[in-house]
Amino acid sequence: MDNFDYPAIGQRIKTLRKRKGINQTELAQRLKKSLRTVQKYETGEIEVSIAVVNQIADILETTSTYILGYESSTAEIKNLSDIMDFLFKLETVVGIDFNIDVKKPPRSKQWECSITFDGKSMADFNADMCLFLEQWEEERDNIRSFASTQKAYKKWKEQILAYYAANAVECAEPEELDPDARIQKRTEYLEKTYSSTESE
């Protein structure tokens, strides 16, 4: 979890602990850790694992994301443009590669559009996206089938956001090519596409 500010995390743990009226010894006992370990967490001397952050969040009745200092977007979704703008931003993330699959009549009975991530792609974060989407669908199914509660779903969501908060990403707009370079790239693309189609 290299992208976190551990002294700031420690300060939040300390503040929350005091607010709950729990001393360091009691917190250490509940975590099954030594007093010195808890002291080091609070001073930011050592890394706090996500599992421990989740435990602390439960004990101090807060969220893992708050302890880590992760703030989710507070911008309200007011219209479809807000959603579409997010999708446009997704394509600027370096390390994520996705395809847009479109099925519609007459080639398909249904009109379906989806965004897919190849989990075996060389893109850095595609496997993470696939794992997340797989877990998300399982959690959504648990809610739809009344096998789980909204409270449990919210807790899972907080823990997922906390877990991935350490994975910093870089965004970059695609470069604009001059006409000759674009034509060359287009020719290479077509040759590659049609040669792979012919070999199948």
CATH 1.10.260.40, the chain: domain bounds: 6-68
Mean pLDDT score, 186-193: 90
Q: What is the pLDDT of residue 27?
A: 96
Q: What is the pLDDT of residue 3?
A: 73
What burial letters (b/e) apply to 49-83, b meaning 16+ CB within 10 Å? ebebbbbbbebbebbbbbbbebeeeeeeeeeeeee
- Kindly state the helix (H) or strand (E) to which residue 77 belongs, with its residue range: none
- For residue 1, pLDDT beyond 70: no
35-61 pLDDT tens trace: 999 999 999 999 999 999 999 999 999
CATH class of 6-68: mainly alpha
> Which of 90, 86, 115 is closest to 100 using CA atoms?
115
Mean pLDDT score, 151-171: 90
Give the global pTM.
0.76
